[in-house]
Amino acid sequence: MKQLHIVLFPSMAHGHMIPMLEMAKLFTSRGLKATIIATPSFAAPITKAQNSGLDVGLVVTPFPPQGSSLPQSIVAFDQMTSPDITSSFLRAMELLQEPVEAILKELRPDCLISDMFLPWTADSAAKFRIPRLAFYGTSYFSRCVSEQFELHKPFNNVTSDSEPFLVPGLPHKITLLRSQISPFFLNESSNDFGKLFKQMNEAWKKTYGEVVNSFNELESAYANHYKNVIGRKAWEIGPLLLYNSSNGGDKNHQRGKESAIDEHKCLAWLDSKRPNTVVYVCAGSVATFSQTQLCETAMGLEASGQNFIWVVRKNKEDDEDWLPQGFEERVRNRGLIIRGWAPQVMILNHAAVGAFVTHCGWNSTLEGVCAGVPMVTWPVFAEQFFNEKLVTEVLGTGVSVGNKRWILRESEGVERDAVARAVEEAMVGGGAEEMRRRAENYKEMAKKAVEEGGSSYNSLNALIEELSNYVAPTKQDTN
């Protein structure tokens, strides 16, 4: 059989690049050829993987591309800090079509896997008569909720932000608040992202299917609902982070940027704590919190009485005004603050860690699942409020901190008492042991899913077989 060549095209964010690189590793481990198209700012992790012996191809395309009005210094999603920049950034992503098609013409791959935020790739794949697989980088659960939103717009049935509404047609009874919903859903046509979501829905009609970074045992009801009720073609091939070594995942591997702390120092600190006595707090690589919120978080962690590692993304260089007076001195023996990027996978897999305060981005949520730790859910934006419901209400492995407001920048509104209560509940509350038992159970299922004969292993087999037998539609088929 001819060796299949897959081209992967992530968008410009670490949370999108990381799983795509892991997907490329997975394909090569199964005898396929994989090439990643990346922009210069996101090429380093691939080059690093190549230098350590990974057989993954890399083609770099300039960004911002020629003809773009985007400033040369704006190269990543987390730099979209104003409507003008967002507008230029999304337009710049559209301008990648021509250079990417030139790359496809040269490589002639058998399949294109592209990020959801690059909907024009559906047309590009069609030009070269190859299937396009979309990658949304999230859970089946959140994909199902999004679909129900598109179909029924249930948030239109309530008159206030504080009145819960039911998401119809799901396997579980799930309610949300309007204030937790992305403005792109609520005012589809009035903003750039709203228009992009429309294009994404249009692109689906020309898309062959979807690859999902999840595993059947985690959310089987929603994998089934997505494929058989909503009728989408999809293959779950995750958790992708477990493919980082031949034994099903290197617990200490680095995902993303270099750590802002010496890993040995971090390990030594963790080694000094008893099992399940440290709460790890991290809100991912994009969300930012107001200084008021950072202060409330600090006071909440202190009041919880628990040991903690807290990763704080710097908003302003060397601005420490948000820390309560004397805080670091008071928590010196039980708190470690990391300013910048942390070795998250290593920390979560340490025996001392007993819970994870997370923004519920899907990469982080899966890292928590694979480490077998209960979660304190603190969603901020994107589909994070959906993932929170999966963790707290479907899986039963987490407790909500109670954030009710979707906001991308300078998030706030969660008081110190809520932080302390949720952390205590996850670490030492009456239901903590049961949450820990369930979390441990999903960890074991995740490992089995990616092993030979496991559900994700077999799902990938089915995908490879289908791609091997793919026949491009004729002109009549496409009408």
Q: Shortest CA distance to 133 belongs to which of 200, 203, 211, 205?
A: 211
The verdict on 127 and 267 lying in the same domain is no
Query: Helices (DSSP H) in 331-431: which residue ranges?
Result: 344-348, 362-371, 384-389, 416-428
Strand pairing report for 307-312 and 209-212: unpaired
At residue 1, the pLDDT reads 65
The verdict on 284 and 334 lying in the same domain is yes
In this predicted structure, the answer to whether residue 315 has a pLDDT above a threshold of 60 is no
DSSP letters along 61-104, please?
Answer: --SSPTT--S-TT--SGGG--SHHHHHHHHHHHHTTHHHHHHHH
Is 115 considered catalytic here?
A: yes
Residue 252 inside a domain? The answer is: no
Q: Give every CB contact of residue 241 below 8 A, 6+ residues apart in sequence.
A: 19, 22, 249, 255, 345, 363, 366, 367, 370
- List, for residues 290-309, the tens digit of each pLDDT value: 889 999 999 999 999 999 99
At residue 257, the pLDDT reads 56
Residue scoring higher pLDDT (426 or 408)? 426
Active-site option among 16, 225, 350, 359: 16
Beta strands in 319-403 (DSSP E): 335-339, 353-358, 375-377, 398-400
The verdict on 33 and 150 lying in the same domain is yes
The verdict on 367 and 386 lying in the same domain is yes
Q: Which long-range contacts (CB under 8 A, 24 or more apart) does 23-31 make?
A: 23/113, 23/135, 23/211, 23/213, 23/237, 23/240, 24/56, 25/49, 25/54, 25/56, 25/243, 25/244, 26/237, 26/240, 26/243, 26/460, 28/54, 28/55, 28/56, 29/243, 30/460, 30/464, 31/3
Residue 70 inside a domain? The answer is: yes
The verdict on 367 and 466 lying in the same domain is no
The verdict on 357 and 415 lying in the same domain is yes
Question: Given pLDDT bands bounded at 50, 70 and 90, which one contains residue 478?
Answer: very low
- The count of domains in the chain is 2
Active-site option among 14, 110, 115, 359: 115
What is the mean pLDDT of the segment spanning 75-102?
A: 92
- Bridge partners of 6, per DSSP, are 34, 111
Question: Given pLDDT bands bounded at 50, 70 and 90, which one contains residue 284?
Answer: confident
106-110, 193-197, 220-224: segment of lowest average pLDDT: 193-197
Residue 258 inside a domain? The answer is: no
In this predicted structure, the answer to whether residue 165 has a pLDDT above a threshold of 60 is yes
Residue 429 inside a domain? The answer is: yes
The verdict on 315 and 275 lying in the same domain is yes
At residue 240, the pLDDT reads 97
The verdict on 268 and 368 lying in the same domain is yes
Task: State percent of the chain over pLDDT 70.
Answer: 93
The verdict on 213 and 322 lying in the same domain is no
The verdict on 79 and 112 lying in the same domain is yes
Residue 276 inside a domain? The answer is: yes
In this predicted structure, the answer to whether residue 479 has a pLDDT above a threshold of 50 is no
Judge contact between 376 and 399, C-beta under 8 A.
Answer: yes
**The domain that contains 371 carries what CATH number?**
3.40.50.2000
Task: State percent of the chain over pLDDT 90.
Answer: 76
In this predicted structure, the answer to whether residue 477 has a pLDDT above a threshold of 60 is no
Residue 270 inside a domain? The answer is: yes
Is 16 considered catalytic here?
A: yes
At residue 189, the pLDDT reads 61
Residue 256 inside a domain? The answer is: no
At residue 256, the pLDDT reads 57
Mean of per-residue pLDDT scores for the chain: 91
Where in the sequence is the domain holding 53, given as residue range(s)? Answer: 5-246+449-478
The verdict on 409 and 427 lying in the same domain is yes
Q: Shortest CA distance to 83 belongs to which of 410, 408, 411, 412?
A: 408
Residue 161 inside a domain? The answer is: yes
Query: Whole-angstrom Cα distance, residue 152 to residue 307?
Result: 45
The verdict on 98 and 206 lying in the same domain is yes
Query: Whole-angstrom Cα distance, residue 245 to residue 247?
Result: 5
Query: Whole-angstrom Cα distance, residue 368 to residue 353?
Result: 11
Maximum Cα–Cα distance for the chain, whole Å? 73
